[in-house]
Structure 1
Amino acid sequence: MIILSAGAWSKYLINVKLPVKTYYCWASLFLSKKKEVGSNIIYDYVNNFYSRPVIGLGFPLAIMGDGKAIETTPLQQNICIEDKNEVSARISRRLGEVKELYTSGSFCEATPDMRPAYGKIAENVYFIGGFNGYGAEVGPGLAHVLVEEILSKKEDTYFTEYRLERLNGYDGNFEIGQEPHEL
């Protein structure tokens, strides 16, 4: 039995068409004069940025970004983040002066409806993915649902909105939307 859960690399590891697109997403570590950024999650829909505490202990450090996706494959090198300075300016408009300390990113995968998916893709082969960079947050719960389905040989009836079958008819041509922060 195989459970394919390699994130943005999944669709490149198996000869089965998966209803996902890959993209690059980045964020920066910021130091702020407001210590509240170190203990609160912020979604600013006016200035288009998000902020998450680094440790959650009230230190004035936060991970911040714009949540936009740069469509590409995980095989791409040297991704260009064009509007990083503009994002810093929008963050400063809301939070006052901030100092960028470090920027990094990685590759993610998205489904057409920007929600995770799980299910059987071949005999004894299952897929779980499309977490949009939120695999650490929602992945364990959905993995538990998938494992229970496999062991019990019964489909879960509560989490049907995440079943892979909802994406039947996917033609690979969709636009990646904004990350679903309120999952």
Structure 2
Amino acid sequence: MVMDSEVVVLGSGISGLSTAYFLEKAGCKTIVLDTSDPIHGIGSTIRSAGIISHFFPFPEEIRIVQNSLKFYKEIIGLSSEKISYNNSGLLAICPKSDEKRLSDFTTAMSSANVNYHHLDNTELKKIYHMLSLSSNEIAIISEDSGYFDINRLFPIIFNYIQTQQNRLFTDIKIKNVQNGNSFRFDTNYGEFTSDKVIIAGGAWSDKIAKLFNCNIKFNTYSTQAAILSISGPFHRHVSSLPILYKMNNGLYGRPFSPSSFLFGDGTRKYLDDPNNFKFEPEESFNKYVLQQAIELFPNISVNSLQKSWSGLYTSSQDLRPIIGELKENLFFMGCFNGFGIMLAPGCSQLLSDIILNKTPSPDFNCFNIKRFHNKNIL
């Protein structure tokens, strides 16, 4: 059996699926291939906290996030299953001494027309009684940020793509790749051909690129998350809290249920084969996140660890996404620095425009892979 398409997308995480969506929407025949089922497999999308943050130091990333949010709302509108976007806002807790970094974020939000305002400790406690700042901290509320339940959102996207003209195949084993006038994949499912190929494989992207005699140099990191059960006089207000983000150490969190809170952090460089990664967090992280929760919620009892997990993400040298052409008709998209849910769909839209020969947004230049061509990155 031979299946033909204009584009083959390698990877069925959020970047691969959203790219396929935009291409098919424009009438471009697309096939998505993956080695595993992204709902139950080893990919990173389903392990996301589902946070949509507009708190970035660059307006280009914020505009990408805004377009990603439009994509999610569009897909939900097309689906028979409805879920809501919890527009809780994001509360960033920042050291007062870090004025330059703080200024970069607020300037970027202003440039992208994102609503925000500052809070001191007195103002904060009036709104969120269970939270407290130290004397050397200030808080900023990014009002447009929020979150989705990723365990509901991602299956909606996956199932929608499956029901459209896109052909999505999982558990694929690629035996051989030929690249003459077109690309030909010999797999356990048969042969697939295409004019163009997009690599959207997350931490596995460099392994995929080697099938085409290419290398993609990026850093891979592990990150960890945990859900903590809480109680105390204010625990009933937990579900109304915004997303929390501590700028000094990277800790983030959001309400998970009326009596639990999700925290994430624990980033460290990962040098091994991603196939060998253990998706269980270290015991030291569990202890660390418990201590952080106690400091954030001094009036709430943190009772137990309900669940914890770990995942991988990739990052470029300048910590910004990479989009563009590796070589003729072979494209790559990735390096979202742990913000794939926020950035991938918006970047997919930019890449789709390039593949469809549309005039790209000026923001594309900030993420174009060509910025690294003279720096021994690719």
TM-score by length of 2: 0.41
Matched residue, 1:6: 201
Matched residue, 2:120: none
Identity %: 25
Q: Does structure 2 retain, via aligned residues, the 8 Å contact 1:28–1:63?
A: yes
Residues 50 and 3 (structure 1), Cα distance of their counterparts in 2 relative to 1, 3 Å cut: same
Whether 1:26 aligns to 2:224 is: yes
Q: Does structure 2 retain, via aligned residues, the 8 Å contact 1:23–1:107?
A: yes
- TM-superposition CA deviations, 1:50-99 (whole Å, max 9, x none): 10233xxx623222022523423312244662531123212211113323
Q: 2 CA distance for matches of 1:70 and 1:140?
A: 25
SS of the residue corresponding to residue 115 of structure 1 reads coil
Pick which of 94-103 and 1-10 moved more.
Answer: 94-103
Whether 1:116 aligns to 2:321 is: yes
1:65 to 234, 242, 264: 264
Q: 2 CA distance for matches of 1:164 and 1:95?
A: 43
Which consecutive unaligned segments of at least 5 residues does structure 2 have? 1-195
Which consecutive unaligned segments of at least 5 residues does structure 1 have? 173-183
Matched residue, 1:95: 297
Report the count of equivalent residues.
169
- Structure showing greater relative contact order (alpha-carbon pairs closer than 8 Å, 6 or more residues apart): 1
Which of the two has higher C-alpha Rg? 2
Aligned positions of 1:34-73 closer than 5 A: 34-39=235-240, 40-45=242-247, 48-54=250-256, 59-72=258-271, 73=273
SS of the residue corresponding to residue 216 of structure 2 reads coil
Residues 102 and 47 (structure 1), Cα distance of their counterparts in 2 relative to 1, 3 Å cut: same
Q: Does structure 1 retain, via aligned residues, the 8 Å contact 2:243–2:252?
A: yes
2:284 to 74, 79, 83: 83
Matched residue, 2:112: none
Matched residue, 2:349: 144
Residues 114 and 46 (structure 1), Cα distance of their counterparts in 2 relative to 1, 3 Å cut: closer
Amino acid across the alignment from 1:159: F
Q: Does structure 2 retain, via aligned residues, the 8 Å contact 1:28–1:103?
A: yes
Which structure is higher in helix share? 2
Q: Does structure 1 retain, via aligned residues, the 8 Å contact 2:230–2:260?
A: yes
Residues 100 and 171 (structure 1), Cα distance of their counterparts in 2 relative to 1, 3 Å cut: farther
